[in-house]
């Protein structure tokens, strides 16, 4: 992919000093500027739906794969090569920085992150030390390798939001009820505030490492924020998320905020400091724009399950998304959640072609 670089310029740079990706359709859309076409990328685009991903990951545990720069580079590039998406997203996992600061956890196939000793008391906070760049030197190395290969294609860095990380740490793994998380939130609000504040520092440092190494944008995943009412989000979650966005604002890269089941929280998620608000498939894009308000780009929001319905159905539903987003200041086409593991990769490739063709200006 090195042919995308500007001739005679260092990898990732133009004569202006801006990154080669600066004028890409993706970054222009994030900045709410005119675009040559609606940009497309997919959450979990570098993952289990790709046979080439399964091949290179064979026999390598998830967390170990996140710590091998050559492997991270290859996996991140795979969907860009195959689908011609407008941005790459860094291959990692939201619990990587927790592992890096010494939390005993593992990602178990079919389950997800599992924490050996959940954090439930004030004494447990001592296990969450600040993240240093040297803790994740493999991230710096991988991002550098990627930006050299990607050239004018932007790389999106990412991290887990404090609430979602806290829920894993408190519950000890995935949860449907978040009973221990909410018990701390309601029952010991001071401990809760200290926990998410400490996680905000770790998350900010993890994003800072990626941006300094060359990421053109970052996305904060608050995967489980949909478990909260708006008043709970504003009081217990929004300050920590805002701290993360504030901490990386000086870099000047677009900041994206995404959660699942967060239709009632969209305005608050934008208010927390995002430049781009991700929308899941439950809320039409025009309604999402009304809830978020002016001054923000939106990202989304095709139902991932539609990709199993056949090409005509995919085009029909994609057209509905594009129509609903037609009046937006900035729109990045994406799914309303991650690519499902059994998705046919060809359906994603055709979807990119369709969106590009329908929106070419």
Q: Is 229 exposed, middle or buried (0-12, 13-18, 19+ CB in 10 A)?
A: exposed
Residue from 5, 28, 32, 44 carrying the catalytic annotation: 44
168 is catalytic: yes
Distance CA(254)–CA(57), nearest Å, equals 30
Residues in the chain: 361
Let me know: does 97 contact 136? Beta carbons within 8 Å: yes
Residue from 5, 82, 86, 168 carrying the catalytic annotation: 168
Residue from 48, 68, 234, 350 carrying the catalytic annotation: 48
Q: What is the pLDDT of residue 110?
A: 86
Let me know: does 26 contact 217? Beta carbons within 8 Å: yes
**Average pLDDT over every residue of 190-219:** 98
120 is catalytic: no
48 is catalytic: yes
Q: What is the pLDDT of residue 3?
A: 32
Mean pLDDT over each residue of the chain, to the nearest integer: 94
What would the pLDDT profile of 219-266 be if each residue is shown by its tens digit? 999 999 999 999 999 999 999 999 999 999 999 999 999 999 999 999
Q: How far, rounded to the nearest angstrom, does the alpha carbon of residue 297 sit from its chain's CA centroid?
A: 15
pLDDT > 90: what percent of the chain? 94
* pTM for the model: 0.94
Residue from 22, 23, 31, 93 carrying the catalytic annotation: 93
What would the pLDDT profile of 341-356 be if each residue is shown by its tens digit? 999 999 999 999 999 9
44 is catalytic: yes
Q: What is the pLDDT of residue 9?
A: 31
**Average pLDDT over every residue of 160-164:** 98
Distance CA(37)–CA(360), nearest Å, equals 5
Q: What is the pLDDT of residue 12?
A: 35
Is the pLDDT assigned to residue 185 strictly greater than 50?
A: yes
**189-213 vs 162-171: helix crossing angle, rounded to 10:** 120
Window from 7-11, 108-112, 271-275 with minimum mean pLDDT = 7-11
What would the pLDDT profile of 85-106 be if each residue is shown by its tens digit? 999 999 999 999 999 999 999 9
Distance CA(94)–CA(200), nearest Å, equals 13
Q: What is the pLDDT of residue 1?
A: 35
Residue from 57, 82, 198, 255 carrying the catalytic annotation: 57
């Amino acid at each position: 992919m090195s042919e995308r670089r500007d001739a005679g310029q260092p990898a990732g740079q133009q004569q202006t000093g801006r990154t080669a990706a600066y004028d890409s359709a993706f970054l222009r859309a994030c900045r709410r500027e005119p675009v040559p076409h609606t940009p497309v990328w997919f959450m979990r685009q570098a993952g289990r739906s790709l046979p080439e991903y399964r091949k290179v990951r064979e026999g390598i545990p998830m967390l170990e794969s996140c710590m091998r720069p050559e492997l991270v580079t290859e996996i991140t590039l795979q969907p860009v090569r195959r689908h011609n998406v407008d941005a790459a997203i860094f291959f990692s996992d939201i619990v990587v920085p927790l592992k890096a600061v010494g939390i005993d956890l593992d990602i178990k196939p079919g389950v997800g992150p599992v924490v050996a000793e959940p954090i439930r008391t004030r004494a447990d906070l001592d296990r969450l030390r600040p993240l240093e760049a040297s803790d994740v030197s493999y991230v710096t190395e991988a991002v550098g390798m990627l930006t050299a290969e990607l050239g004018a294609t932007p790389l999106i860095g990412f991290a887990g939001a404090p609430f979602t990380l806290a829920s894993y740490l408190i519950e000890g793994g995935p949860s449907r009820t978040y009973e221990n998380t909410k018990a701390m939130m309601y029952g010991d609000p001071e401990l809760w505030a200290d926990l998410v504040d400490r996680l905000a520092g770790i998350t900010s440092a993890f994003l800072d490492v990626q941006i300094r190494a060359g990421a053109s944008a970052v996305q904060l995943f608050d995967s489980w924020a949909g478990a909260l009412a708006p008043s709970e989000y504003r009081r217990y979650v929004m300050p920590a998320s805002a701290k993360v966005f504030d901490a990386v604002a000086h870099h000047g890269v677009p900041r994206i905020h995404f959660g699942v089941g967060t239709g009632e929280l969209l305005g608050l998620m934008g208010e927390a400091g995002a430049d781009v608000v991700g929308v899941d498939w439950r809320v039409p894009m025009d309604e999402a724009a009304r809830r978020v308000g002016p001054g923000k780009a939106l990202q989304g929001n095709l139902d991932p399950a539609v990709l199993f319905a056949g090409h005509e159905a995919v085009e029909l539903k994609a057209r509905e998304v594009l129509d609903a987003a037609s009046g937006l200041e900035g729109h990045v086409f994406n799914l309303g959640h991650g690519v499902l593991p059994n998705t046919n990769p060809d359906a994603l490739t055709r979807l990119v072609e369709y969106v590009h063709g329908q929106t070419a200006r």
